Structure 1
Amino acid sequence: MVDNILSILELKRQNVETEFKIIYDEVTEICALLDVEIKMPRISGRQMHRENHQAETPEAYFRVTMYFQYLDHLIQELRSLFADSRQKAMKVQCLVPKYTVSSTFADLIETLDFYQTDLDCSASVLRGEFECWKAKWGRKAGNELPETAIEALSFCPRIEYPKIATLLQIFATFPVTTSTPERTFSSLKLLKTYLRSTMGHERLNGLASMTLQRDVPVSVDEVVDLIAQDPRRLDIVL
């Protein structure tokens, strides 16, 4: 599936003029209905804050500054997200009991090579643990099978399944998306503005945590007690 999408995007990249012409014609029709003129930004001799490509027409300008870069970025992100190394790492998913019952050791063998430094064991050792792990969950009903790595870890005693516990711990820490850091950056723009650029790290971290973790209850009494522990020269009379 991913290879098919990449081949389509690369084909569009090769025929970029034809493909962008179709998009540009549709945009032109919409702009005509809205009485909006398509114009490219002013081209200057030196520009640092936006694209400044030389172009004779708006179509050529937006093709170079937007369509080219969008396709290149999308192709690069797909290749990075579904790289061979990442696909090998994701083979650990077969250790989640929901998928273990229908998996074989052949699905896990590539993981041994990829995480050899973390496991430090032979294939026979990992095979033995996998067979015991699969037999354990093969006797359970479908609704009793854990569906996530974190749930599976709670049923995986390290003394019995040391290698599988290590792999599940690694799998549980895989970042699924980049939404958390992106949300953090968005919050920082609201917290640390030009008028509050001298804010200290401790205060900034505290405000950022309160903004991001809004579901965590905050006790007013605990906050007051914490502030009261800091000695101040000014006596506050309530």
Structure 2
Amino acid sequence: MESTAKKMAIESNATTEFAEERARKRKRHFDEDAEDDPIQDSRIRFKTEVYFYVLDIFVGQFENRFSDFKEMAKLFTVLNPKRFEHPDAEKKMLELARFYSEDISKPEEVVEEFHSFRKLYSELAMDLNSDAILPFLIANDMDRAYPNLAILHRIYKTIPISSASAERSFSRLKLIKSYLRSCMDEARLSNLTLLCVERDINIDKDRVVGRFATMKERRMAF
């Protein structure tokens, strides 16, 4: 990082040396150690007072931002096939289903589906990880047999690892819903925001127009 900063300073015609300060003499008390003396080397002082300080802030911010995600991830450990035979697997599955009670109408049915799928997984001697179970269920048309289990896997695969996407969405929101668009309804605002945030995704325009044309009869043929 220091080498990169010096290179950028040279390109900007800026100085590449740390500013030296005049050494101040101070009287040392009898109970002071040598470590209590101020740092005279400007490079070491910058490293101690700025670089390490910024790193401490980064580490603290990462811990605060990801602490909630870590607690959330613990609920989904039961979806890992390596945890299927854990003594508390069914209890953890019920706890996870009750946590998402708005998506799972009957949490008790999730335990039954989990018990059945665990037996099937053992009989077929499959070797899958947590990310491969949902594609396996969909590919074999088993998501209908295990609907609640498939819902939990979908929730697990769509949980964001940070709040960056949400913050980016709010920053786009003020650009979309301006003063002239204050009367925009919620559905249109949501659709425009989705198009703006996910603008990097390639969309087949002909397919979209064809689907729009077949939604209902229209006077004009597209």
TM-score range, shorter chain: 0.3 to 0.5
Q: TM-score, normalised on structure 1?
A: 0.45
Q: TM-score, normalised on structure 2?
A: 0.48
